[in-house]
């Protein structure tokens, strides 16, 4: 459609701009955003409340250099591994920041427009985007202290001299929510003397000043570049901290939400089926607010799921997990949840606040330390430190229980965790090291002194392939997860927006009922979360008498005379009335 500045797009952008920048000319600034996104000449009207996903969508999360092979760039090697091993398994590939960076394994970006030449180039990125839906980070809250913009800031040169948030150190900043323990402000020598800049995370990650609309225009230009290079899914990193106002907690401010709405408008008018995911590792109610009125994020991370599911399998009680599942609102059409239980970061504990007691969190932390994990801390406004996240591979995290310690059920417990995740409303995402059942990398931790490095192993591809072709736990887990995923992808009742109802079958069992949008397939997804056999009374669930029921996972039929099932430790069943195996 040719551009018409009296149209809906123009009206929407003006409305966004008025909310974010009331002191600027909305007409002039809205035109800048529209032109920056290339929408001044042509755009496609997006369909409202359209789901850009279905039950076939599975995501994998990986670094650009997870796989190494002599004579190949890591991105080329990644493409090889994905194409040869996961082409029929995953549809979305999230490559963590692949740009030149100075710290934090990519999240301190030096240049947003380049691919780190140690990983490959844009051709490698486009090759992956040609075969999978490519998900990329927009590291929008902050940039590297070694980047061009910050060098300009220190030299008093445009445009960077106006791009960063400066603060008087005498200001009262006690209300600011902090995800880290280091000082919030960093003293910097500039051409104009000593100034203090804002650093939500590390002192190498300098927060940008979005009260200057030119900063937001820079990122709109970056988004357009990524779209043109094949990116379809945008992860808005640390977006909750974006807008700062002295005297507030500087998290989830109204301007931040309006910026997400503006980016949503611009992105979906450029590419109708592009998706925004907000990365907001914050308490659950605040996290859900980023759905807006189906006009902000298409997807939000289900951050409470990792700590709650971990607690469930370590204690043998699904009580808190079920309470949370019952409290979760169904996502509106055009939105859904992004479910995960492990990622490149640790297992966040903030989302568990209010869902687990302090004692339960302390027990979880102690168990993870006993299983070889490390704990990262954050600063409270009273000066105390509090556990922020657990750093451990998920495979090692599930090696035993809180009460008994390590046991023989590690692999079964690990498969159970992912089978539960696969059954829940939303799009499931697997961290690559979960698919591979990677163990804690203590050597990388020692070399970097970074707690998160324990869960960021780099595999030599040929060695990994030998493990996957042998009788190893890596092969067992990889093949079984691929088998279960293949079954899951065929079931309409596992559509991300299909109906979900939490079953009440006792604390030892976790179960949900899913029904597809056409209401002709039901699945009772039920898991034993203990290390003991559990009895499931079939009259406790609503197996319609006129239908033939089967466990999709084992392919065992449920006879008309059958009244109960016995679930082995950590066994899962998907009881369905519609049989789909191909």
Tens of pLDDT, residue by residue over 213-247, are: 999 999 999 999 999 999 999 999 999 999 999 99
Secondary structure (3-state) at 162 = helix
Q: In angstroms, rounded to a whole number, what is the distance separating the alpha carbons of residues 208 and 229?
A: 25
- The structural domains of the chain, with segments of one domain joined by +, span 496-576
| More confidently predicted of 570 and 384 | 570
Q: What is the mean pLDDT of residues 291-319?
A: 98
H or E element, residue 391:
strand 385-391
Phi then psi for 564, rounded to 5 degrees? -155, 160
Sequence length of the chain is 582
Residue 561 has pLDDT above 60, yes or no: yes
Contact criterion met (CB below 8 Å) for 426 and 432: no
Per-residue pLDDT, 2: 52
Q: In angstroms, rounded to a whole number, what is the distance separating the alpha carbons of residues 314 and 526?
A: 17
Active site residue 237: yes
Q: Is the bond into 159 cis (omega within 30 degrees of 0)?
A: yes
Q: What is the mean pLDDT of residues 537-566?
A: 91
Residue 112 has pLDDT above 70, yes or no: yes
How does pLDDT run across 404-455, given as a tens digit for each residue?
A: 999 999 999 999 999 999 999 999 999 999 999 999 999 999 999 999 999 9
Q: What is the mean pLDDT of residues 510-533?
A: 97
Residues 6+ apart with CB under 8 A from 293: none
DSSP one-letter code for 101: B
Per-residue pLDDT, 379: 72
Cα–Cα distance list, 193 to 148, 156, 404, 433 (Å): 19, 10, 60, 47
Per-residue pLDDT, 181: 81
How does pLDDT run across 146-169, given as a tens digit for each residue?
A: 999 999 999 999 999 999 999 999
Q: What is the mean pLDDT of residues 182-186?
A: 95
Burial environment of residue 532 by CB neighbours within 10 A (0 to 12, 13 to 18, 19 or more) = exposed
Looking at the DSSP bridge assignments, the partners of residue 509 are: 528
Q: What is the pTM of this model?
A: 0.96
Q: What is the mean pLDDT of residues 268-286?
A: 93
* Unique residue bearing structure tokens 């039920």: 526
Q: What is the mean pLDDT of residues 41-57?
A: 92
Per-residue pLDDT, 545: 75
Contact criterion met (CB below 8 Å) for 252 and 240: yes
Per-residue pLDDT, 44: 86
Per-residue pLDDT, 282: 82
Residue 4 has pLDDT above 70, yes or no: no
Of 124, 137, 204, 237, catalytic: 237
Q: What is the mean pLDDT of residues 348-376?
A: 95
Q: What is the mean pLDDT of residues 546-561?
A: 92
Secondary structure (3-state) at 366 = helix
- The fraction of the chain above a pLDDT of 70, given in percent, is 98
Per-residue pLDDT, 285: 87
Per-residue pLDDT, 533: 99
Q: What is the mean pLDDT of residues 297-307?
A: 97
Summary mean pLDDT of the chain: 96
Q: Strand 522-528 vs strand 509-515: parallel, antiparallel, or unpaired?
A: antiparallel
Quick one: pLDDT band at residue 383, thresholds 50, 70, 90? confident
Residue 3 has pLDDT above 70, yes or no: no
Q: What is the mean pLDDT of residues 563-576?
A: 97
CATH 2.60.40.1180 fits 496-576, yes or no: yes
């Amino acid at each position: 459609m040719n551009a018409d500045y009296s149209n809906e797009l123009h009206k929407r952008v003006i409305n966004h701009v008025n909310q974010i920048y009331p002191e600027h000319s909305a007409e002039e600034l809205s035109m800048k955003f529209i032109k920056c996104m290339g929408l001044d000449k042509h755009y496609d009207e997006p369909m409202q409340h359209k789901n850009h996903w279905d039950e076939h969508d599975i995501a994998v999360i990986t670094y650009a250099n997870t796989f190494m092979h002599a004579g190949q760039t890591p991105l080329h090697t990644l493409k090889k591994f994905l194409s040869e091993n996961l082409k029929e398994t995953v549809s979305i590939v999230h490559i963590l920041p692949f740009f030149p960076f100075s710290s934090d394994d990519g999240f301190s970006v030096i240049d947003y427009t380049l691919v780190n030449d140690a990983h490959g180039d844009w051709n490698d990125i486009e090759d992956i985007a040609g075969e999978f839906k490519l998900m990329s980070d927009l590291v929008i809250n902050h940039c590297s202290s070694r980047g061009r913009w910050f060098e300009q800031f220190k030299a008093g040169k445009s445009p960077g001299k106006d791009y960063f948030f400066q603060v008087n150190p005498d200001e009262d900043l006690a209300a600011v929510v902090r995800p880290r323990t280091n000082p919030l402000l960093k003293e910097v020598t500039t051409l104009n003397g000593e100034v203090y800049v804002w650093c939500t995370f590390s002192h190498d990650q300098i927060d940008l000043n979005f009260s200057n609309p030119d900063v937001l225009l820079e990122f709109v230009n970056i988004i357009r570049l990524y779209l043109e290079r094949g990116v379809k899914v945008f992860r808005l990193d640390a977006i909750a901290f974006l807008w700062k106002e002295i005297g507030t907690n500087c998290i989830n401010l109204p301007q931040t939400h309006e910026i997400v709405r503006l980016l949503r408008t611009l992105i979906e008018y450029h590419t109708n089926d592009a998706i925004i995911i907000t990365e907001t590792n914050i308490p659950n109610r605040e996290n859900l607010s980023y759905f807006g009125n189906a006009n902000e994020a298409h997807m939000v991370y289900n951050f409470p799921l990792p700590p709650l599911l971990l607690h469930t399998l370590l204690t043998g009680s699904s009580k808190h997990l079920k309470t949370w599942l019952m409290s979760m609102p169904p996502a509106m059409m055009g939105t859904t949840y992004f479910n995960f239980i492990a990622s490149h970061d640790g297992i966040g504990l903030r989302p568990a606040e209010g869902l687990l007691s302090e004692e339960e969190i302390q027990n979880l932390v102690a168990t993870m330390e006993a299983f070889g994990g490390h704990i990262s801390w954050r600063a409270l406004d009273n000066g105390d430190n509090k556990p922020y996240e657990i750093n451990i591979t998920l495979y090692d995290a599930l090696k035993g229980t809180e009460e008994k310690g390590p046991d023989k059920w590690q692999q079964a417990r690990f498969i159970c965790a992912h089978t539960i995740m696969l059954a829940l409303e939303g799009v499931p995402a697997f961290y690559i090291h979960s698919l591979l059942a990677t163990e804690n990398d203590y050597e990388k931790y020692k070399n970097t002194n970074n707690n998160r490095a324990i869960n960021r192993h780099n595999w030599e591809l040929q060695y990994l392939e030998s493990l996957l072709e042998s009788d190893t736990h890596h092969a067992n887990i990889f093949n079984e997860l691929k088998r279960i995923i293949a079954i899951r992808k065929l079931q309409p009742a596992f559509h991300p927006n299909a109906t979900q109802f939490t079953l009440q079958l006792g604390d030892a069992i976790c179960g949900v009922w899913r029904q597809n949008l056409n209401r002709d397939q039901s699945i009772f997804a039920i898991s034993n979360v203990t290390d003991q056999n559990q009895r499931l009374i079939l009259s406790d669930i609503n197996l319609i008498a006129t239908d033939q029921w089967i466990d999709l996972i084992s392919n065992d039929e449920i006879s008309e005379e059958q009244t109960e099932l016995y679930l082995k430790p950590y066994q899962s069943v998907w009881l369905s009335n519609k049989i789909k195996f191909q």
